[in-house]
Amino acid sequence: MSPSEPRIIRLLMELRRMGVADTRTLSAIERIPRELFIAGPFLDQAYENTALPIDCGQTVSQPLVVALMTQALDVGERMKVLEVGTGSGYQAAVLAQLCRRLYTVERHKPLLAQAEARFKQLRLHNITARMGDGSRGWPEQAPFDRIMVTAAAPDIPPALVDQLKPDGIMVLPLGDVGGQDQELVRVTKTADGIDIHPFLPVRFVPLVEGLPEE
């Protein structure tokens, strides 16, 4: 048993108690070593159910939020998935276990480089990452079966809805970008438009248009 294994088991038990029932989601979280995505000073908290800071003023999400977003996205193994906001790469690594191909967009060059190095270390060859404005999605690779957005927007970005396949699902935090009054929603694209189902109050960093100045 590795030193981190008891902590992983404890975290998985906590996630189950808090409503994560999907065995594929739990298995994906079990297989990805979260400590690989955590900055040195916070390594002892790698398997605590808490969000932790990373570079560029961003965070690696609380494991419960990662698990509930992944579960709500309902990813099939033959699906093509877009993630907006690579961050540390942790959520992408979890999703990559579940889909055929994952495309992920990050606006901060240092974060993108770190995440790509982690994907390579974990031999996650079905992830394609690039620097870009996530609110615009990845039109060259559209349409997508599923889209996950890991930053909060006041409204659902129309470009992302356009890049969803019919009956496709998007999961994202919506609400006040100041950090208060946000909610995770599951958006399903229908013949008549979109169905929106809120399912969890959260606090995410804002989805910012454009790229940061170097």
Q: Is residue 214 part of a domain?
A: no
Number of other residues whose CB lies within 10 A of the CB of residue 143? 16
pLDDT of residue 57: 82
The pTM of this model reads 0.93
Residue 180: pLDDT over 80: no
Among residues 2, 4, 27, 61, which one is catalytic? 61
Closest CA to 182 of 160, 206, 159, 161: 206
Q: Is residue 210 part of a domain?
A: no
User: Is 2 tagged catalytic?
Assistant: no
Alpha-carbon distance 203 to 26, whole Å?
Answer: 22
Q: Is residue 211 part of a domain?
A: no
pLDDT of residue 82: 98
Question: How many structural domains does the chain have?
Answer: 1
Q: Is residue 25 part of a domain?
A: yes
Domain harbouring 44, CATH code: 3.40.50.150
pLDDT of residue 91: 97
Exposure of 1 by Cβ count < 10 A (0-12 exposed, 13-18 middle, 19+ buried)?
Answer: exposed
Q: What is the residue range of 138's domain?
A: 5-202
Q: Is residue 209 part of a domain?
A: no
Query: Between 127 and 53, whose confidence is greater?
Result: 127
Distances (CA, A) of 116 to 113, 126, 198: 5, 12, 32
Q: Is residue 97 part of a domain?
A: yes
Q: Is residue 17 part of a domain?
A: yes
Pair 137, 83: CB distance under 8 Å: no
SS3 of residue 170 by DSSP: strand
Q: Is residue 212 part of a domain?
A: no
C-alpha gyration radius of the chain: 16
10 pLDDT band, cuts 50/70/90, is very high
